[in-house]
């Protein structure tokens, strides 16, 4: 992985952490790669809709509900976004 790509990935992760902590009103320090989205962000069924909204508003790609099936940890979430931004 080139240093440029790594840097870009880090920027993406920072951006994700910023909008997640703002949207779901959690302390950014609680967002760690091995933490689970559902527990840390206290997501209920309605919150997944808002998760779609913030992703689309920040990265401008379409999100399908089934995309969340395999996403549990923040690292899963980062990997998913990065795969969409840098397919």
The answer to the question of residue 18 lying near another protein (CB under 8 A) is: no
Question: How far apart are the C-alpha atoms of 51 and 68, rounded to whole Å?
Answer: 10
Stretch that binds another protein, among 8-16, 31-39, 40-48, 74-82 (CB under 8 A): 40-48
The answer to the question of residue 60 lying near another protein (CB under 8 A) is: no
Question: How far apart are the C-alpha atoms of 13 and 17, rounded to whole Å?
Answer: 6
Tokens of 16: 């994700």
The answer to the question of residue 46 lying near another protein (CB under 8 A) is: yes
Contacts 24+ apart (CB under 8 A), 44-50: 50/23
Which CB, 25 or 34, lies closer to another protein?
25
Contact, 59 vs 84, CB < 8 A?
yes
Which CB, 1 or 29, lies closer to another protein?
29
Residues that bind another protein (CB under 8 A): 24-25, 44, 46-47, 49-50, 52-53, 56-57, 62
């Amino acid at each position: 992985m080139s240093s440029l790509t790594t840097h870009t990935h880090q920027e993406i992760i920072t951006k994700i952490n910023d909008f997640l902590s703002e949207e779901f009103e959690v302390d950014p320090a609680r967002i760690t790669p091995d933490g689970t989205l559902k527990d840390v962000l206290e997501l209920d069924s309605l919150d997944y809709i808002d998760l779609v909204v913030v992703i689309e508003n920040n990265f401008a790609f379409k999100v399908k509900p089934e995309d969340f099936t395999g996403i549990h940890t923040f690292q899963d979430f980062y990997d998913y976004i990065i795969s969409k931004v840098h397919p």
